[in-house]
A and B are shown apart, each in its own frame.
Chain A
Amino acid sequence: MSADITLRKGLTIPMSGIADLNISSADIADNFVIYPHDFHGVVPKMLLKEGEAVLQGQPIFYSKANPEIKFVSPVSGTLTTIERGAKRRIMSLSIAADGKDNAVAQKLENLDKLQAADVKKYLLESGCWPFVKQRPYDVIADPISTPKAIFISGFNTAPLAADVPFILSSQKEDFQNGIDVLAKLAPKVHLSVDASSVSFLNEVSNAEVHRFKGPHPAGNVGVQIHHIDPVNAGETVWVVGPADVARIGAFFSTGIFDASQMVTVVGPVVKSPTYFKSRIGAAVAPLLTQVGIDADGQIRVINGDSLSGVATHADGNLGFYNNTLTVLAEGNRYRMFGWLPFVGSKIFSMSRTSLSWLLPKRAYALNTNMNGEERALVVTGEMEQVLPMDIFPMQLLKECMVQNIEKMEGLGIYEVAPEDFALIDYASTSKIEAQAIVREALDLMIKEVG
């Protein structure tokens, strides 16, 4: 085990509505939805038509650019609707579950005998491949690329995010199995853990364990890569979410695509935040009913954490990757003279122009209000405060905006993902959309550099 890596920059946002560490049994409705927008950059090509029957683990569509990458159904039943948006883009795929959980089962050889190529083939066939993402660009990994390492973050520092060791506590063997599988694909597997607590993750074999200390975004895998073995131009690394490592492990021990998903329902307006054992694509409505919502206006339901999650509806469904479902009150209200310094200190602020910094222990009921309007970039130094990387965030963002590829490369575009800039979205005095700027720049890089 290497020495602790301590990060000083960043910000842990003290939000109220965190879940206690216990698991409630979830009511699972029989309508399931897959959102193709969860897979950034993938243009889906359908394998099934509306009304056709589907098994759990059976491919529903594949990636147009890379037909090997298949996306499978989390449940057995019928593909009921393919919802299309502008330019016939597929927005969502609804599956009505039949409750039988008939699954595609593969016969796998013993893991010890498998070569990297076999492992890759099984991952692609089983629908597990979309869980392997790559840096640079933060997209699903290209199966042809050869990663210099695979990185797994064993903790999540985003506001109210699921406690990783807790959600994996019943899947320790699967997790180890998943690590063993991934170890076949790359020369090295790095697992980062929270240095402030000890869990079974510290004992995992076949991976190099790194201990990180510090505020959010210390738990972001991108930040960890930057400090362990940064990505240079031309290099590729793969990243897998911790719950998905266990999912991959489960597949290699049973031969069945494991669609179960631990999810914590949290947020300031959630009455009793808790953990549920649910499924990929399950409806969120029963979960919201179970925890109870206490809001006197509209709410926003977010697949993921409040910094980089994707908004869905109260009658929407869980996303493909998230273990956190955040519920916030919509902040669509006016506040008279709310911009005055030292007024409205119940709205958390990183800057000390609010008195909230005098109450470090308080948990804040944040909502979705912008707390201001977009302005020109004036304040300097605040972005650097929340990005614990050797990167000049403002300079990089400006080069991203003017699409200067050479400068973007020089300033470290290969090392960042939108989620690493989420705190900049949050903290920016000028209310700029840093994540969107980085995402667009990465898409440009994919197009121009590949």
Chain B
Amino acid sequence: MNFIRQRIDAIKKPFGKGQKWERFAPAVNAFDTFLFVPNHTTQKGAHIRDGVDLKRTMVTVIIALLPAFIYGVYNTGYQYFIQSGLAFTFWDAMLHGALKIMPMVAVSYGVGLAIEFAFAVYRGHEVNEGYLVTGLLVPMIMPVDIPLWMVGLSVAFAVFIAKEAFGGTGMNILNPALTARAFAFFAYPTYMSGNKVWVSEASNVDGISGETVLGSLAAGNDVSYSMFDMFVGAIPGSIAETSTLWVLVGAAILILTGVGSWRIMVGGVLGAAVTAFLFNFWGANALMSFDWTNHLIVGGFAFGVVFMATDPVSAAQTTKGKWIYGLLVGVFCILIRVFNPAYPEGVMLAILLMNVFAPTIDHYVVEGNIKRRKKRLNATLTPAT
């Protein structure tokens, strides 16, 4: 370990204070701090600090994402082989999926991190770890056959416009990963919706077609999958959104470690469940009469509520605000699904919409606190008689 440390210190020398490459120090530091927690000690304020840091927090989110990600890799191959009627083993499916998905992950990280590093150098701050999560999320919520250049372009749009334009990590209004998806969704709709995009090779091989559950419902067709399939995730859809089971495992990790807000998750599920339940009574179209329990396990709802809505930067930040925000994400998700057949996947738009309103929610919660304080002050100024 000492040897590695000395090597790194030698490499870092030209990037030190007052040295030739000083302004590129953030880029080198990003790699260094990845290997080693720095030897920095407290200079002011509390002399002791908690063991947690942003890297650890973000890596915890990645760990929580992995079960759904791995299942997504498998499901990509599984859907392909089942649809094309070929015999296959578990590893065939994994391999097929990996060959499709790993390049997307590589492009997403490559493009995103390049922009993040460039901005860190330009602004002279350290590279924030937030993109480690975003970079994995983006491919997880894309259809499998989307061209790699579209992934790259969506990522670039999201990091530039949704994140860095607002000041970078911690300042963004919209969830960057969802912005990437929304960009692709509106810019290249033919690659992002319909019945030819959700299964690997569906657009090249005639025998393969696959519609998402919500897509077929919106088109007025029946659903041919069992509830068990929908829960486990053996259905077509964006790469890693299909399996409610493995998303729940991720949710358990997030809640147990305290990294994800359980309030937002519970709020979201409550909001969606109650809204869908009420629409069950109305039942004017196929999506309205779609059983409310099924609403919770199809499409990207579970994935969105667990991994997207809980993004602490774009979500509401106050405790009360988190409840309101979560509930409204759930309500709007079902509303969009039910009333707008053009966008059967409501959760993306619901979360983006609530991202925009999260600061408003917080504003009123905080304003309540300010009013309480003013009231207390006024009570002392006019003593009760």
Report which A residues bind B (CB closer than 8 A): 13, 15, 159, 230, 232-235, 300, 302, 306-309, 311, 326, 328, 330-341, 344-345, 347-354, 356, 366-381, 384, 390-392, 394-395, 410-412, 422-423, 425-431, 433-436
Contacts and interface: CB of A to CB of B under 8 A. Distances in A.
Contact of A349 (B4, B51, B377): B51
A378 B57 contact: yes
Interface of B: 1, 4-5, 33, 35-42, 44-57, 59-60, 63, 126, 128-130, 168-171, 256-259, 261, 312-313, 315, 317-319, 322, 362, 366, 369-370, 372-374, 376-377, 380
A378 B369 contact: no
Given A338-B36, A376-B169, A378-B54, A412 B126 contact: no
B49 A370 contact: yes
B57, B169, B370 — which one has the most chain A CB atoms within 10 A of its CB?
Answer: B57
Contacts of B370: 410-411
Given A339-B56, A344-B51, A372-B53, 13 more contacts: A306-B46, A336-B35, A340-B56, A341-B60, A350-B50, A351-B52, A353-B56, A369-B49, A377-B170, A392-B366, A425-B49, A429-B50, A435-B44
Given A328-B47, A352-B257, A232 B39 contact: no
A353 B259 contact: yes
Contacts of A330: 41
Contacts of B45: 308, 422, 425, 433-436
Contacts of B317: 380-381, 394-395
Contact of B380 (A235, A335, A338): A235
Contacts of A433: 44-45
Given A351-B52, A351-B259, A368-B42, A337 B47 contact: no
A380 B374 contact: no
A394 B316 CA distance: 13
Nearest to B44: A436
A429 B52 contact: yes
B56 A410 contact: no
A378 B256 CA distance: 19
- Residue picked from A337, A374, A381, A411, most chain B C-beta under 10 Å: A381
Contacts of A384: 319
A155 to B, nearest CB: 20
A427 B57 CA distance: 13
A341 B50 contact: no
Residue from A340, A370, A433 whose CB has the most chain B CB atoms within 10 Å: A370
Contacts of A370: 38, 40-42, 49
Return the 9 tightest CB-CB contacts between A and B, nearest first: A372-B53, A376-B170, A338-B37, A425-B46, A347-B51, A349-B51, A410-B370, A339-B55, A334-B36
